[in-house]
Structure 1
């Protein structure tokens, strides 16, 4: 009996604890259990009870306001329903009394509604067409791949076209070789073996059968390709000495340079001839560019100022000017037109490494960057670019034609054409049959009666593209 009575008392105690009992409930407990339930001092326990009562009061006020809002909403809904039903009945009565006038009124409303709908459709269609047209080429430029050159054993860094003989192009590869190719036959007509490192750049002399190459062995070599003159000019003679049994031009091997310039302490990544053909400039990872005399191999001037390794260098085709680009997200234009004064203009606008910067014939500079953009600058005012074009992939070494058309090679294998005003002209087709399979590293134009485009990539391929401009576009240039 005592055990049963004890269980009843314990159950009563648990019930009190679950129900947030007050002091009167605790006082109802036996003395032996009251000490266990009164752990908190009376002052704190009273304070807690007051706080809970305040919370309950506030909750009651909110609950009352909520109920009043519900009643108001219900009344408004009933009033709205009654108004809708009354309007429907009045409209039905008007329709019954005046069928003719109602039909005319309905026709007018329908006509106005249709006109509004048509206006909205026209506006939407116009806006959409403008949006879509911004993704389309503004000119009907036809591009197609017509030729593919293979022969390098590693990725190709650079490609260039000979100005003396537009049938000859050159390529610089990481396989430590520079090769010469004939556009008419598609054959390799010469290979230069003089470098001990990756050949990073190749440029042709503006007036002579001389090539300039820059290499990772920290040197720049000048070598002649005079022996290819017969191979490119006498293709129709069947008894020429420089031919094999199939009638194709034999490749000449060039091993000894006419001159070797060792003006850098790090790999030389780019080079270019100045407009006089007597001097050339080199760019290196040692953060400097060197202006060199090609006859004496003497360094005329060392150009410094970049904070990080250089990536590209280019010379103006008409003036004694040089532009260098660097990984420090800037490019520097050096003006040597005044013998005693040499000015430098720093171009700032990119957020990542500037991969290349080249001059145009209309006194502009076009810069490309790993920040997925190209920018077009006016040499007279370099504070802000004339145009800024963003893409979906980093841009590598660009090329500009005499018609002021920019070719833009990308990391994602895309090749785009823009003019120097920032207007898109075309995008070269990309397919698995005849196009680049990997990064497109560089591009150049072949300036002749029918201009063509040469691109190279890390897939060891060189591709010749036929580019046909519409007469309207040619007349503007």
Structure 2
């Protein structure tokens, strides 16, 4: 956005240019700060002006529609012609109720796009950078959390460097295990709900199940401490040289699931862990018997490549997302399964996640929107979040007031609630934030030192502590 409206008056309450003139900041930094503050003032003024213009248009159209409805009602009750009245409402369609709905939806979406970036006054969000995990040689596609074995929380990462890694999530954040069984990019990683098993999907057209049980005696902890938010590296490669090296390497899977004709983009355990589902660019998804390693069902119907799949935590529900701009919910709760097609996005659907305690699903798309849907009504979304970049694999917290963490192509991560209200964004500085596209996010328990993990194509995974307080200002 240009800063041509610098001289416009605004109600901006942030830092002013004069606040830094008498400070001890160097002249060069003062000049930079003055430029940024001026830009903030200009953007805020323009947002306020656009918001007022939209509100004015909305009020004017509401008055016109109200008058038109009044006239039509009187005509119907008297069955007599009503005298002509001058006014812009004369050109409205006779079915003013349908027209009013369209107008309200259109201008409400535009207004929400502007005001959605203002957090409600009664919500407080605290963000703390805990540390980061470095070691992959290429971008990281996916991150997954597990409560861990023997009381040790762990996370898993899937990378374009053809490896998957298991990390200790708390204490000394070292790499516990490195998996080398795939011959292509590892696109997804998920932990078994009860057993020390990991399910990974890969560009080599297979999904693999392998063991992640690492005996404590085999772990060699590095003396290197994880990076914290106060560190700043002048050399971008210094963090890579400071990495933790895995002490255990696994090369052979317990089961290999083959049958797809193209890359496997995602793989998930079904509730209970006796079955799993895989999604592929061959436009199909498959349900597998994870113990036998055989396919049980083939889910077909998408017109283009399937980009992601997700499962409900307690019910036999599967969702598949596709580049054909739709996502489908497959219901296996009865002997004869059904499928519902959700249409509403205008570009590739990149992810869709079930909420735990609500009958709803949240979808993200390359059309720069996130939509919340009611599973009982698939016609329209409950709420729509307008974004400024393509959406990648989002995550919904079971705790933290069901906060949605949305990672973007533009290296940002923003937090919203299920009503589509903007809460905050994670820091986007080079330290401690991501430097390139953020691909995935996952939540952990609020009791942990870190309860949100994000990964991206800067080859790193970052741990955060997010605290959402909805009553602090009431």
Pairwise TM-score range, normalised by the shorter structure: 0.5 to 0.7
Give distance in 2, aligned partners of 1:332 and 1:216: 23
Residue equivalent to 2:119:
137
CA offset digits 1:101-124 (Å, max 9, x no partner): xxxxxxxxxxxxxxxxxxxxxxx9
SS in 2 for 1:141: strand
CA offset digits 1:384-430 (Å, max 9, x no partner): 00001111111111111103211100111111111112122221111
Residue equivalent to 1:160:
144
Residue equivalent to 2:248:
252
Contact 2:287 2:298 (C-alpha < 8 Å) held by counterparts:
yes
Residue equivalent to 1:242:
219
1:357 aligns with 2:352: yes
1:211 aligns with 2:198: yes
> Which range is displaced more, 389-398 or 158-167?
158-167
Number of residue pairs the alignment of both structures matches: 340
Residue equivalent to 2:366:
370
Contact 1:163 1:204 (C-alpha < 8 Å) held by counterparts:
no
Q: CA deviation at 1:135?
A: 2.3
SS in 2 for 1:376: strand
Contact 2:197 2:210 (C-alpha < 8 Å) held by counterparts:
yes
Structural RMSD (CA): 2.5
Determine which structure has greater relative contact order: mean sequence separation of CA pairs < 8 Å that are 6+ residues apart, divided by chain length.
2
SS in 2 for 1:472: coil
Residue equivalent to 1:27:
none
SS in 1 for 2:471: helix
Q: CA deviation at 1:132?
A: 8.1
Give distance in 1, aligned partners of 2:390 and 2:246: 38
SS in 2 for 1:162: strand
1:390 aligns with 2:372: no
SS in 1 for 2:208: strand
Contact 2:277 2:287 (C-alpha < 8 Å) held by counterparts:
yes
1:226 to 188, 194, 213: 213
Give distance in 2, aligned partners of 1:454 and 1:332: 27
Aligned ranges for residues 229-308 of structure 1 at < 5 Å?
230-231=215-216, 240=217, 242-243=219-220, 246=223, 251-308=247-304
Give distance in 1, aligned partners of 2:137 and 2:262: 24
Contact 1:170 1:181 (C-alpha < 8 Å) held by counterparts:
yes
Q: Unaligned 5+ residue runs, structure 1?
A: 1-123, 232-239
Q: Unaligned 5+ residue runs, structure 2?
A: 1-51, 57-111, 225-243
Give distance in 2, aligned partners of 1:209 and 1:273: 13
Aligned ranges for residues 395-434 of structure 1 at < 5 Å?
395-403=391-399, 404-434=402-432
Q: TM-score, with normalisation over the residues of structure 1?
A: 0.68
Q: CA deviation at 1:315?
A: 0.5
Q: TM-score, with normalisation over the residues of structure 2?
A: 0.68
Residue equivalent to 1:190:
177
Contact 1:204 1:212 (C-alpha < 8 Å) held by counterparts:
yes
CA 1:375–1:253 in 2, change beyond 3 Å: closer, same or farther?
same
CA offset digits 1:281-334 (Å, max 9, x no partner): 000000000000001111110000000000000010010110000000000000
Contact 1:188 1:251 (C-alpha < 8 Å) held by counterparts:
yes
Rg larger in structure: 1
Give distance in 2, aligned partners of 1:314 and 1:131: 28
Contact 2:116 2:421 (C-alpha < 8 Å) held by counterparts:
no
SS in 2 for 1:341: coil
> Which range is displaced more, 158-167 or 341-350?
158-167
Q: CA deviation at 1:249?
A: 9.0
| Dislocated runs of 4+, deviation >4 Å | 130-134, 244-250
Contact 1:163 1:206 (C-alpha < 8 Å) held by counterparts:
no
CA 1:132–1:309 in 2, change beyond 3 Å: closer, same or farther?
closer
CA offset digits 1:229-265 (Å, max 9, x no partner): x44xxxxxxxx45325849995210111010000201
1:440 aligns with 2:438: yes
CA 1:147–1:246 in 2, change beyond 3 Å: closer, same or farther?
closer
CA 1:151–1:377 in 2, change beyond 3 Å: closer, same or farther?
same
Structure holding more helix per residue: 1
Give distance in 1, aligned partners of 2:434 and 2:245: 26
SS in 1 for 2:124: coil
Give distance in 2, aligned partners of 1:131 and 1:315: 30
1:179 aligns with 2:148: no
SS in 2 for 1:337: coil
